[in-house]
Amino acid sequence: MFTISSILFSCGKKEELYEVEIPESVYATEEEVDNSPTKVVAKDGSFKMKGLSFNYSDLEPNLDAQTIETHYSKHHLGYLEKLNELIKGTDLEEKSIEEILTSLDSEKKALINNAGGYYNHNLYWEVLTKEKEKTPTGKIAELINRDFGSFEAFKTQFKKAGLDVFGSGWVWLVLTENQNLKITTTVNQNNPLMSFETEKGYPLMNIDMWEHAYYLKYKNNKSDYIDNYFKRIDWDKVNYRIELKSN
């Protein structure tokens, strides 16, 4: 078991170092994993844990129960509770998470890390499913073929973006203002809704490239982690997000 408290990261484009607070977490042993995420409840505050559509072990063998339990009940919960602390007593308590993200000042590092950490993980869990290897259909299949040439070409580009992430960050598939699909990356807990990001768009899906998302099972083998992530994507949820943006 080990605890991570803080670490220095480099924001590549601005070439600056700043401290990123990481919620303290202790990895559970396999014997300690409680299979039900419904028991994870945040302290009272503006935002709540949204829950998962699967139990921790349901994504085995692609994503292991031990990692999912720790990721959800320690890291994700930690970002949420820190976010609630930061906005308590401010006008941000009445805003949606999207409104907070789009109005953030680039100097508000704690809010960026924790509001981003809450939102980014919500989306990560939302588009995962216990059903294996679903394939894109409907609107998302049409857009992928139009903008990337084929699903395999899209997967290749998305995987390369993940392998190229240096340090901690995320890979995103976003819908741009011109209704085009685009693959983009962000450092730490930044995301494409933040106004200071160079590449912006409406997030449709993402993959967490922080080591806590894969290291227990995959160690430094990010390639296999990304491949197995693709076997658990719920493309119906991605289509639903496209519909949400269109309405």
More confident residue, 23 or 62: 62
Which residue do the tokens 């768009």 mark? 201
Mean per-residue pLDDT, 201-212: 98
Whole-prediction pTM? 0.86
On whether the CB atoms of residues 102 and 115 are closer than 8 A, the answer is no
Quote the CA–CA distance of 142 and 233 in Å, as a whole number. Answer: 17
The angle at the Cα of 21, spanning 18 to 24, to the nearest 5 degrees, equals 155
Residue of 189, 63, 51 lying closest to 122 (CA atoms)? 51
115-166 pLDDT tens trace: 999 999 999 999 999 998 889 999 999 999 999 999 999 999 999 999 999 9
Quote the CA–CA distance of 65 and 33 in Å, as a whole number. Answer: 7
Strand order in the sheet with 181-187: 181-187, 169-175, 202-208
The angle at the Cα of 170, spanning 138 to 6, to the nearest 5 degrees, equals 155
Residue 58 neighbours by CB distance under 10 Å: 17
Residue type for 181, please?
L
More confident residue, 29 or 87: 87
**Chain-centre distance of CA 70, in angstroms?**
15
The pLDDT > 90 percentage for the chain reads 81
